[in-house]
Structure 1
Amino acid sequence: MLDNSMQELNGSGPKKRRNSAENICDKDENVHISQDLKKNDEVKIHDAAPDRVELLHWRDMPKHLQFNPYVLTGYRPLQDVSGCIRSLFYFHNETINILTHGVSLVFMIAVLPGLLPWSVGGWSWFLSLCHLLGALAPWCGSFLYHLFMNHTRGAGLYHRLLQLDMLGIWVSQSIGE
């Protein structure tokens, strides 16, 4: 039951798209196919617009990324590091998580060191460092988790990123306050 949305069960949900070169060319005016290459069953596509990432449905994602059956659309496809970083610049189902954690992280890196008493005396530098690390750890871990969770390396990397996210929370609770 969780594999299909209510819309799909009623027959009104989105249908899975086929992405062949012929379908893309039929729909896009800016695409030109070289006739010489078409004879050899090779298709060369020239697109005047920048590459657009097609967001996926929950059912199209690998099992390790199907942890929330209530978010049905807007999933980024599996991508390499540069694709994950480029996902900062378009809207998808993880955008708010990435931006809120990333902006908070940058703000704290910029502001917090100037507010801490680094040289008051004794061990104040160490306590300031512990406070800084404890404050930054959960934001950094969560930012990296949400940004790279759809990496092509799959479930192994995903679980390492999740551990990094949890480690950030543990560091915050252990030495941050």
Structure 2
Amino acid sequence: MFDMSIQEVNGKGPKKRKKSLEIFDSEGHEQSEASVFPLASVSQAEAARAAEPSVQLLHWRDMPQHLQFNPYVLTGYRPLQSWTGCVCSLFYFHNETINILTHGVSLVYMMMVLPGLLPWGGGGSSFLSLCHLLGAMAPWCGSFLYHLFMNHTRGEALFVPH
């Protein structure tokens, strides 16, 4: 019943095909649909798995204790990874993707726009402008790096005081 549409349940829609297409080769022998259309034999679940990243995302309960601070986000956690794995996580969707991208895009935007808005004239204003620029970008940079590398394999030393 679950593989039928509402129209089919009510008897109003088209009926499901009972027999697969009969396909014959050049010699007149019947072939299976899967041999002619190899992608047709791939289930939707297999196709979805092929599109997913090679990294298996974890559930909240599977995370180390120091990363279990938000019990309302239950899935999509990246496993503990190396530096390279953390950087590669920029290219697939997980529970920190929005944090990383919004802080990273804001950081890039500030690096492009703020230097043109500040007075870089003579005297001490250049030093003050540089301090202002660095001070404005520091929280965004820190947040971007925190969210990107929070699942690093050596990250527990940063979270848990010894």
Check the 8 A contact 1:150/1:158 in 2, yes or no.
no
Which string of whole-angstrom CA distances, capped at 9 and with x for unpartnered residues, describes residues 116-170 of structure 1? 1111x3211011011101110000000000000000113113469xxxxxxxxxx
In our comparison, the structure showing a higher alpha carbon Rg is 2
Q: TM-score, normalised by structure 2?
A: 0.65
For structure 1, list consecutive stretches of 5 or more residues without a partner in the other structure: 1-26, 29-47, 161-177
Structure 2 partner of 1:107: 109
Distance 1:141 1:62, change over 3 A: same
How much has 1:50 moved relative to structure 2? 9.1
Please provide the CA RMSD for this pair.
2.3
Tell me which amino acid in the other structure corresponds to 1:58. Answer: W
Which structure 1 residue ranges, 4+ long, deviate > 3 Å from structure 2?
48-51, 157-160
For structure 2, list consecutive stretches of 5 or more residues without a partner in the other structure: 1-44
Structure 2 partner of 1:122: 123
Q: TM-score, normalised by structure 1?
A: 0.60
Q: How does 1:30-69 map to 2 (within 5 A)?
A: 52-69=54-71
Distance 1:112 1:71, change over 3 A: same
Tell me which amino acid in the other structure corresponds to 1:107. Answer: Y
Which string of whole-angstrom CA distances, capped at 9 and with x for unpartnered residues, describes residues 95-130 of structure 1? 0000000000011111111211111x3211011011
Q: Secondary structure at the match of 1:114?
A: helix
1:145 aligns with 2:142: no
